[in-house]
Chain A
C-alpha cells in the first residue's frame, strides 16, 4: 500500500507537534509518508456551511492529484471533508460533472482516504506496532478522545463504531498504557467556536475534562488538532470558568505512541503542550 500524506493547515501551525510526532512514529515503523504535492485546504466548516458545491470541490481538487495512492489524513475535520466529498461525488453523476467543471478535471470520488488511526491499526497492524514498542507506557491511564468527525456520520466516515470507537484504545493498549472506558469519547469539543464564541468551547470542554477526570484519567489522547487545541490551550480558562482543577495533559496519540517507541521528547515536540506533561511522565517513569 502506498500513501500520500494530506497534513491539513493546522499541522503547519498550531498542530506542528502532531505533524512532527506523526513523522517520528511512521519513521520508526519504516512507513513512507510523502506529502501530497500542492494540497489545498479542505474548506472545513466554513465551506460546507456556506456553499455545498465549493465544499465538495476543494477536497476533490486535492484528491484528484493523489494519483492512485491512498490519502493519509491526520486531522479529523479534513478527514470528514475529504470523505464527505468522495461520498457525494461517487454517488451522484450530475454533481460529479458540476465538480469537474469547477475544478477543471473529472474526479470520480474514489481516491481512498484513511485516517492515521486506521492505517496504524488496520494496515500496519497491531503486531508490527507491538514489535516497535521499546518503552511501554506502563501504568498510564489514558482517556482516548475521538471527537465528532472521525466517526460521524457513520455511513460516510465508515471509521469504527460511531458511539464507541476503539482504534485509539487498541493502539494505547499496544503501547502498554491502560485505555479507559469512558462515555465522552465522541462528544464535541466545540471546534472553531474557540474563536467565534468561546463560551461554547468552555462549556463543552468542561464536560469532557470533568468526565475524563471522573473516569480516573492521567491524561487525554487526541487525534484531531481542534480537539487537542481546545482541551489543552483552553484548559486553564475551563478551570477558571468552572472552579474545577484538572491538570490533565492532552497529548496527540502519536506523541504517546512515539514515547513508547523510544522517541525523544524533542522529536515529539512535547514542549508544545500547554498543560505540562513533565511531572506526569516522570511519576510514571515514562520517557527516561
Chain B
C-alpha cells in the first residue's frame, strides 16, 4: 500500500469567471453542482487521475484556473459521458471537460506527458486533407510525431495478416471545399 498523498491544491481566489467562461463555451452549468460525487463513482478513470470529476467541477466553481486547466485528468477522460448521464443536477460534465480542454490548450497549460492533443491534431489534419481517416497513415504520423516508433510494433503485421488494415488511403472529393470549411469553422462561423 502506498501512503503517498497527492499534494493539496493551492487556492488562488474564491469566486470568479472560470465557471461563466465554461458555461459560455459549453452550455454546461457547473454552478449547479452540490458535490454528491455520483459522477466520480461511475467514472472509469477517476481512480487513476490527479482529479476526480466532482473535484474538477469544484475547482471550476471556485475559479481555480491553474489547477483546472493544467489537470492531467482533462487528458485521461475518455468522454464516455457516464458523469453527464448520471448527474442529478444535469451538469454536462463531459461538455465542460471539452471546453476546459480547449482553454487548457489555448493557455498552453496542457498537462505535460499527454499525447492526446497531438493525436487530436493529427486526426483533424487527416480529416481536412482526405475527408476520412486512413488508419495506417494516422498511426505512422502519430508514431513519428511522438517518437513512439516501437510501441506495439508487433501489432501491424498481425493486423495485416488478419486483413484489418486498409493499405490504400481513401480520398473524398472536394478537398478545397473542405479546407475552406475548416477555415470557416476556425473563424467561428462568422458572417
Contact = CB atoms under 8 A, between A and B. Distances in A.
A and B are interacting partners: yes
B85 A102 contact: no
Given A188-B44, A203-B48, A12 B78 contact: no
Given A9-B133, A162-B85, A195 B139 contact: yes
B124 A102 contact: no
Contact of B174 (A16, A38, A272): A38
Interface stretch (A23-31, A50-58, A213-221, A251-259): A50-58
Given A49-B79, A101-B191, A13 B172 contact: no
Nearest to B182: A54
Given A13-B164, A46-B119, A48-B79, A40 B98 contact: no
Interface residues of A, number: 60
A196 B79 contact: no
Contact of B124 (A46, A200, A233): A46
Interface string B15-36: 0000000000110000000000
A67 interface: no
A49 B184 CA distance: 18
Interface of A: 9-10, 12-17, 38-41, 43-54, 57-58, 61, 97-99, 101-104, 148-149, 151-154, 162, 187-188, 190-193, 195-198, 200, 203-204, 233, 269, 271-274
A193 B119 CA distance: 10
A237 B170 CA distance: 30
Contact of A40 (B99, B132, B155, B186): B132
B11 interface: no
7 contacts: A13-B135, A13-B166, A14-B159, A38-B174, A41-B132, A148-B82, A197-B114
Nearest to B190: A101
A50 B101 contact: yes
A193 B48 CA distance: 14
Query: 6 tightest CB-CB pairs across the interface, nearest first?
Result: A98-B189, A46-B123, A188-B80, A152-B81, A148-B80, A9-B133
A14 B48 contact: no
Given A14-B159, A152-B85, A272-B164, A196 B181 contact: no
Contacts of B98: 48-49, 52
Interface in B98-120: 98-99, 101-102, 105, 114-116, 119-120
A104 B123 contact: no
B177 interface: yes
A154 B90 CA distance: 12
B45 interface: yes
Contacts of B116: 49, 196-197
A148 B105 CA distance: 26
